[in-house]
Structure formats: C-alpha cells, structure tokens
Copies of this chain bind each other. A is one copy, B any other.
Amino acid sequence: MKVLVIGLGLIGGSMAIDIKASNKGAVILGYDADEEHLDTAISLGLIDEKATLEDAASVDVIIVAIPVNVSLKVIPRVLDIVKDDTLVFDVGSTKANICKVVGEHPNRRNFLAAHPIAGTEYSGPQAAIKNLYKGKTNIVCEVEKTAFKVQERAMEIFNDLGMRIRYMDPLAHDRHIAYVSHLSHISSFMLGKTVIDKEKNERDIFDMAGSGFESTVRLAKSSPAMWSPIFEQNKQNVIETLEEYIVNLQNFKELMESNDFEAIYKEMEDTNRIKEILKGITIKSS
C-alpha cells in the first residue's frame, strides 16, 4: 500500500506513524508546502519519501491534513489525477464546504470526508505522536457518496488507528462542532488575551496562575494558521455560538451586579451536569 500524506503537521504526521506501524508493507510518501516540515518529517522517520502533489496519480491512499481553506483547492486537484480505486480523505474540522466543493467532481466517489476528533494544542511534524487516534471518535460525512471499495479501505485504516466511527450530515457536523470545539478555542484565546492585556507584568501571572487557569487557556496555544480558516469556513455557526456565549456571560455579570448570588449558585449547580458528560469523554479517550 502506497500512502501519500499531504500536510505533515500533528494530524498528518501522527497518522503516518500509526499507519506505518500497523501496515508493515506500507510506503509513506509525504508532501508539505513548507520544505522545512518535509525535512523534519523525513528526519523523524514519519515518512519514507518526499513527494509532490503529482504523486497523487500513483498512490493507493491520500490523506489531506492541511488548513481547511487550502484543502478546498488541493482536494479537487488531487481528485483530478487519482487512480480509479484510490482513497482520498481529509481530516478537517469543517465539513460542509469541502463536501460542497467536491460534490460535482467526476471523481467524487474517491473522496471520503472525515473529521477525527483528536489533537493537542501543539502543531508541526515534531508534535506528531503515536496512538493519537486510539479510542477517539472519527466523524464521517456523506459516506453514501463514496464508492464502496473506497469506503472499505478507509474503514480498514480507521480501524487500524483504533477509531470509533460516527456518520453525520456535514451541516449537522459543522453546527455541533462549533459548540464543542470551535467555541472552546475562541473562549480560550480571548481568556488568554484578556489576562495578557491586563497583566503586563508576566511575572504576576506566572506566580498566581494555577492548574485551573492552565487548563482553560491551554487551547490558546493552538495554531492560528489552522484555526483562522476553520472560523472562516464555519463562520455562521461560530458567530451563533459566540452570541449565545456572550449572552450567558452578560447574564452572569448582571446577576452579580444585582447581588443575586443565589441565582449564580443555581447557574453553577445546573452546569455541574457537565461532570457526567465529561465522564463519558474521559472514558472514551482513555
């Protein structure tokens, strides 16, 4: 099996590691717009050989793990030249636009739209780790538009990676993921910004911040190159979640201003339900 990984960051790099580990005969070609990433990927052993986009014509599997705005251009280009039974899948955090863009492509049936819910706040090939996908959820959209043999090949790979598959409509995916992922990132980035703006003396933050702060601003380390296009692609949904979040924060502030700490207690008590929900996530990811 010849695999071409386009984009050798955390996501593509980690996939390369696990596919190689579970398919001893697999040859992993790698391409990245950033030549330095490509060199790092070779020196870390993530890939076997450097490739170009033209190599898409001769491989069995193509994984597209690049910012979602670039995917919109690269995926059709790749589909133009693939072999009849080649699997092309993406791993982007937005699914509606890519499904629309490839919708009328003559080789639409070679493509599978996927979103593995996995990652860390780090980026680049040096951030790639093994077993990143083990026990995680992989959301697959419009599976019925992918050729059966191509689907089958994808499921074998996802199975090797240890992922659980959930099928979903791309519009529903983008709406839901805005709440449980995109909004978290904005809340974290803006929290980081608020604190940095205020506490010009970093030493104070350093000394007074504990693990709670660390946990809530962790996502503010994330890559702007990855996240800015995600917010752009999922603009309407993200704006809606942001509006609801801001309203909730404003209400909380107004309760404080009117000294209604009973209502504040109640708000927090109701939200403690998140414990049960998170218990599910923790079990799933361990």
Contacts and interface: CB of A to CB of B under 8 A. Distances in A.
A50 to B, nearest CB: 28
Nearest to A244: B194
Interface in A235-286: 235, 238-239, 241-246, 248-250, 252-253, 256-257, 259, 261, 264-278, 280-282, 284-285
A191 B119 CA distance: 20
Contact of A231 (B176, B185, B206, B261): B261
A181 interface: yes
A228 interface: yes
Interface residues of A, number: 96
Interface stretch (A10-18, A51-59, A83-91, A219-227): A219-227
Contacts of A250: 246
Contacts of A181: 208-210, 212-213
Given A187-B191, A205-B277, A215-B218, A253 B268 contact: no
A129 interface: no
User: Which of A179, A199, A239 has the most CB atoms of chain B within a 10 A radius of its CB?
Assistant: A179
Contacts of A194: 179, 183, 241, 244-245, 248
A239 B256 contact: yes
Nearest to A175: B198
Nearest to A190: B248
A138 to B, nearest CB: 10
A224 B136 contact: no
A36 interface: no
A191 B245 contact: yes
Contacts of A190: 245, 248-249, 252
Contacts of A278: 214, 217-218, 221
A180 B137 CA distance: 32
A177 interface: yes
B253 A246 contact: yes
A198 B241 contact: yes
A239 B232 CA distance: 31
User: Which of A218, A235, A257 has the most CB atoms of chain B within a 10 A radius of its CB?
Assistant: A218
Contact of A196 (B196, B261, B274, B284): B274
Interface of A: 117-121, 136-137, 139, 166, 176-177, 179-181, 183-199, 202, 204-222, 224-225, 227-229, 231-232, 235, 238-239, 241-246, 248-250, 252-253, 256-257, 259, 261, 264-278, 280-282, 284-285
